[in-house]
Structure 1
């Protein structure tokens, strides 16, 4: 299966920034699968998130831009106040419609969109967070044949988000941050 047909989508809220940095920090610059990261942040918080990730990761870090293709070796951050969607041609589109689960960007919106385009080649990962956003999107990925992973709630800074996913997805894989990192490295095609 060509690498370009795979996608990793990751979401988190409270505690999710630290967890996602821990998961992503050792992935090689040549990592073979695009990664989209949807983190809830304060509405008035501007760009600094991209700088934080760019300093700590080997991967290219970019904020999602309209019509840009999802490329390997990149982590794409959902911009503040926009939902991130994927198109059939594997490019991004941004949407500023209503909040979902009190959030924009909404993890559910991106996860669902990714599963519609990438189907069974979608890997969804839900990290620490204080809301239930992401659990229905992760369930949708699982129902489309993709892989559903939730951070171990015992390790998460706030267990609500991963626990909601585990409760709603019978086949959800539960992993701590170190195991998620190993899992992502195992998916990498050299």
Structure 2
């Protein structure tokens, strides 16, 4: 009989970043994670702030996980996907409480994957998983470095398979990525990590 893993040994959060082509990428990722994921998922997808977003509704129809726009001050719960609202940075504290911010743009974007990943690294250290999917630009690369330096695990979509390779290529170029995978292989790796750690 194995002892229950201690909380320090288990992954506690997954953070995902995507931009151009990201909605389809998120549908593929979230749709394959299954209904009973034991950790919350925080998502930065670059969205046009001039329009009301329906991304939570779109993704909800394609995954068994609960999907919602993140709200300031709410606690992130397992099996739930929290999406940064348009024009708001999404951060998380060590208590799992989410914060939204309108501080300045980072690399010309808000929400910023870098800020999300840096907050996840600071709050969760080795208990964090960060993942970069398709997108243009470099958002997320600096933040991945922070996650890796705190002992977390880093994944990136293989740029050769990404609809837009800028963000995943910038991630890979950091040298901090543990797994470079085609999109369809990422969900199984994430599930394997969150379910196997500490056993």
2:54 aligned with 1:48? yes
Question: Distance in 2 between the 1:189 and 1:174 partners?
Answer: 20
Alignment match of 1:61 (pick from 62, 67, 78): 67
| Secondary structure of the structure 2 residue equivalent to 1:154 | helix
Q: CA RMSD in A?
A: 1.6
Residues 3-42 of structure 1: per-residue CA shift (max 9 Å, x gap): 9861100001011111111011022222101100100011
The answer for unaligned runs of 5 or more in structure 1 is none
Aligned residue number for residue 126 of structure 2: 120
Matches within 5 A, 1:22-171: 22-171=28-177
> What TM-score comes out, normalization by structure 2 length?
0.90
Among 3, 14, 23, the alignment partner of 1:8 is 14
Q: Normalising by structure 1, report the TM-score.
A: 0.94
**Following TM superposition, by how much is the alpha carbon of 1:189 offset from its aligned partner in structure 2, in angstroms?**
3.6
Q: Could you list the per-position Cα deviations for residues 50-78 of structure 1 after superposition, in whole angstroms to 9, with x for gaps in the alignment?
A: 11011111000111111111110101111
8 Å CA contact retained: 2:11, 2:126: no
How many residue pairs were aligned?
190
Q: Which moved more, 1:41-50 or 1:138-147?
A: 41-50
**Structure 2, unaligned stretches of length 5 or more?**
1-5
Alignment partners' CA distance in 1, 2:134 and 2:35: 25
Which structure: larger Rg?
2
Mapped partners of 1:91, 1:8: distance in 2? 14
1:21 aligned to 2:27? yes
Instruction: Give me the whole-angstrom Cα distance separating, in 1, the residues matched to 2:73 and 2:66.
Output: 18
